[in-house]
Amino acid sequence: MPQVAARINPEQERWLKDYFRTKSAGAEFILPWAVDTFFRAINTIKHKFSSAELKTIIEAHKGRKILPEHMRVTYLALRIHDACEINGIHEKFGVNKTALENKIKAMDDTSATALMVWASAFWVSRQCTAENLEEYISSY
């Protein structure tokens, strides 16, 4: 099995050691589960948003680092609200800001987290070009 080096904080390390025989055993269990959960969430989410809405969400995450404490629907809602209010990104893609905000507010934290990770990942991916944005959206 391929190896992955992950960085975790001391609290996460204690949690893995407390709930699993070893830190490695915990990581080997959690990582595949997290990846599967992420892709299931993205496959469900992408059908709830239009292509223009997804582009708006991706644009709102340009240059943003997502921290674990941001993994809440309230953070995503605030991020989108500010990006629309301050930068007018919804206008760039022809999106109804209120409709987009309502869709986001109806999400749960897990789905919002997956969407933020997916949107942020575009900007660090090999596909990160304006021409590949449509392909990125349709590939998940």
* DSSP assignments along 25-73, one per residue: HHHHHHHHHHHHHHHHHHHHHTTTS-HHHHHHHHHHTTTPPP-GGG-SH
Using 50, 70 and 90 to split pLDDT, how confident is the model at 93?
A: very high
Report the alpha-carbon distance of residue 140 to residue 131 in Å, rounded.
16
Percentage of the chain with pLDDT > 90?
Answer: 45
Please report how many Cα atoms fall inside a 13 Å half-sphere around the Cα of residue 111, on the Cβ side. Answer: 14
Mean pLDDT of the 15-34 span: 87
Mean pLDDT of the 37-64 span: 91
Q: Which amino acid does the sequence have at 29? A: F
Report the alpha-carbon distance of residue 132 to residue 73 in Å, rounded.
27
Report which DSSP code applies to 132. G
For the cut 80, the answer to whether the pLDDT of residue 130 exceeds it is no
Mean pLDDT of the 12-29 span: 87
Lowest mean pLDDT among 4-13, 24-33, 95-104, 112-121: 4-13
pTM of the predicted structure, to 2 decimals: 0.82
The CA-atom distances, in angstroms, between 125 and each of 14, 33, 122, 133 are: 31, 22, 5, 11
**Do 82 and 64 touch, CB atoms closer than 8 A?**
no
The 10 Å Cβ neighbour count of residue 13 is 13
For the cut 80, the answer to whether the pLDDT of residue 129 exceeds it is no
Percentage of the chain with pLDDT > 70?
Answer: 93
- How confident is the model at residue 140, as a pLDDT? 66
Mean pLDDT of the 27-33 span: 87
